Amino acid sequence: MTEIATTQPGGEGPRRPSPPGPAIEAKGLYHIYRETEVETVALRGAELTLEPASWTSLMGPSGSGKSTLIYVLAGLLEPSGGAVMIDHQDLTRLPPPERARARRRNIGLVMQRDNLHPLLDVAGNVALPLRLDGRAADEVRSRVDEVIDHVGLTPRRHHRAGQLSGGEAQRAAIALAVAPRPRVLLTDEPTGELDEGTAAGVLDLLEELRAEGTAILTVTHNSQVAERADRRPVMSDGEVTDAA
């Protein structure tokens, strides 16, 4: 079992009691998409465990089920079968409002691009998930300051998305995703739009978050990303196989 980190991801805020055991665990996931008379089996008994303070890079060809797995892990898609355990709860069995709350608090998402609201500055963007979660204004303010400082964007906190470089925008996107102190950070090609040098800076930031206790999953075709990971399982035909 991986040791539980002593600080929360993204800063030194009040520590939420973290239960021992995996950050998230997918057990025997099946998912079948039905469109009229055509059935597509996207997940066939997929299993994946992310420990706290770990980095897993998931690779696999298009259509192998990677996106479906991410949606199910994030509580955005109810699987046809199986379970997603977070904090001793099966995310897939929670009623929709509770599932939404559990997702917002436990799972951060960073997509390839355009993660920021174009009319808001960095601080406004980072505050969004906290405000959606109904956090008090004081808490939002202090957490936003803390997490922006953590990703090194304090001098840019009042810049809008369009005024940021690609690397800064992805750092802001990571700040936004980790602001609610999620256990798990799911990222889809987080450096897909960046040059190698800028990408390295973003990957360094993910390494810091891992060291602080976050479980990171990157879905990527990029070896520069994959080589930072502790594990590189491969998805194929709806199943996850540990490659190394």
Partner 1 sequence: MRLEAQPSSTEAPAVEAIDLAHTYAADGVPVHALDGVSLTVERGEVVAVMGPSGSGKSTLLFLLGGLDRPDSGKVLVNGTDWDTLKGPERARFRRRNCGFVVQGMALLPQATAAENVEVPLVLDEVEAGARAERVARILERVELAAEGVKLPDQLSGGQQQRVAIARALVSEPAVVLADEPTGNLDSATGQAVTRLLIEAASERGTAVVLVTHDPAVAAHAGRTVEIHSGHIATGRNASHAGAPE
Applying CB under 8 A, the site for partner 1 has a residue count of: 27
Which x/- pattern over 113-142 shows residues binding partner 1 (rule: CB under 8 A)?
xxxxxxxx---x---x--xx-x--------
From candidates 18, 49, 67, 89, binder to partner 1 by CB under 8 A: 67
The least CB distance from residue 66 to partner 1, in Å, is 12
What is d(CA 21, CA 120) in angstroms, rounded to the nearest whole number? 38
What is d(CA 221, CA 60) in angstroms, rounded to the nearest whole number? 8
Any idea what the Cα angle at residue 122 is, between residues 152 and 218, rounded to 5°? 65
Binding range to partner 1, per CB under 8 A, among 3-11, 83-91, 170-178, 221-229: 170-178
Residue closer to partner 1 by CB (options 66, 228) is 66
93 binds partner 1 (CB under 8 A): no
Residue closer to partner 1 by CB (options 115, 214) is 115
Cβ 8 vs Cβ 150: under 8 Å: no
The least CB distance from residue 51 to partner 1, in Å, is 23
The least CB distance from residue 189 to partner 1, in Å, is 12
From candidates 71, 83, 101, 145, binder to partner 1 by CB under 8 A: 71
Positions in the binding site for partner 1 (CB under 8 A): 67, 71, 76-77, 96, 99-100, 109-120, 124, 128, 131-132, 134, 173, 176-177
